[in-house]
Amino acid sequence: MEISQFFKSVIDQDGAPIVICSLDNTILYMNPAARERYKKHGDLVGTSLAGCHNADSNEKMRRVIEWFGTDKSHNKVYTYRNDKENKDVYMIALRNEQGELIGYYEKHEYRASETMEKYNLF
């Protein structure tokens, strides 16, 4: 059995939405929780995440991706707090075995408020 099946299962079993994107913001994969959350928008796989956000958010995503690329230790950025749903949202870098940036994912975490400053890149 390939290890990739285990990784996919970890993502699919997560109850929080996970959206995996390429560096050009193309949505490559959505776990079942993400598909359920965004089902009113139809099948988003293969579309651009940029189309789901306003100009300000797109600029912030561009800056975060650029920051991810500047150092292998730049891997997680807090992007949004939703008090109504008691959740925080992050962009997390995806890297290949050589440590090269290959994409990112959006991760929702339902819990108490984040203490990290939003988009703190330093």
pLDDT for the residue numbered 117: 87
What pLDDT is stored for residue 3 in this prediction?
A: 83
What does the block give as tokens for 107?
């991760």
Strand order from edge to edge, sheet including 101-110: 27-30, 18-22, 101-110, 87-95, 76-82
| Residue 111 pLDDT | 78
pLDDT of the residue at 112: 62
Cα dihedral across residues 106, 30, 10, 81: positive or negative: positive
What's the confidence (pLDDT) of residue 2?
A: 85
Domain ranges of the chain: 3-110
Q: Which CATH class is domain 3-110?
A: alpha beta
* Mean pLDDT, the chain cut into blocks of 10 residues (122 residues total): 89 94 96 95 93 92 96 96 92 96 93 78 80
